[in-house]
Amino acid sequence: MKIGLISDTHNLLRSEALAALQGCDAIIHAGDIGNPDILTQLAEIAPLHTVRGNNDLNSPWARDLPDLLTLNLNGWQSLLVHDIADVPTDLDPSVKLIITGHSHKPRIEWCGDRLYVNPGSAGPRRFKLPVTLAILEIQPDSIDPRLISLLDPPA
């Protein structure tokens, strides 16, 4: 199963991001979307799961988006939340994949048997951080995560 992870588009859905997400079985947006047209475009590629980010909170169109979402991705119990600070402290031990956004800093890190992934920001460049998204190849017994740079070369 191929999962596309995108976050922090902030009103900018790059053609490079759309191209990178082609062929995904599902897409996950980790918040700070910017406008509902972005969700429409992503949902045309694959089934879409999303949470709202702190910049989406006051937008009427985002009112019904959850702040936290649990998913089963090809057998991997997963948690999607915009800000890693909002990951519950009493997290169910069955959750093995945590997907966040917010910081604009890409992260792929195993902590014990739990994988933390932040795809970085796919929207406007912030400071000198890279513009990225992530792809997860998920098998029932393994996850192969990789970052995709959307601007070449990264600043």
Domain ranges, ordered by start, for the chain: 2-149
Out of 1.20.1090.10, 3.60.21.10, 3.90.420.10, 3.30.930.10, the CATH code matching 2-149 is: 3.60.21.10
| pLDDT tens readout for residues 77-114 | 999 999 999 999 999 999 999 999 999 999 999 999 99
Which phi and psi angles does 146 have, rounded to 5°? -150, 145
Q: How many CB atoms lie within 10 A of CB 135?
A: 18
The whole-model pTM stands at 0.95
Residues paired with residue 48 on neighbouring β-strands, in sequence order: 27
pLDDT band, residue 153 (cuts 50/70/90): low
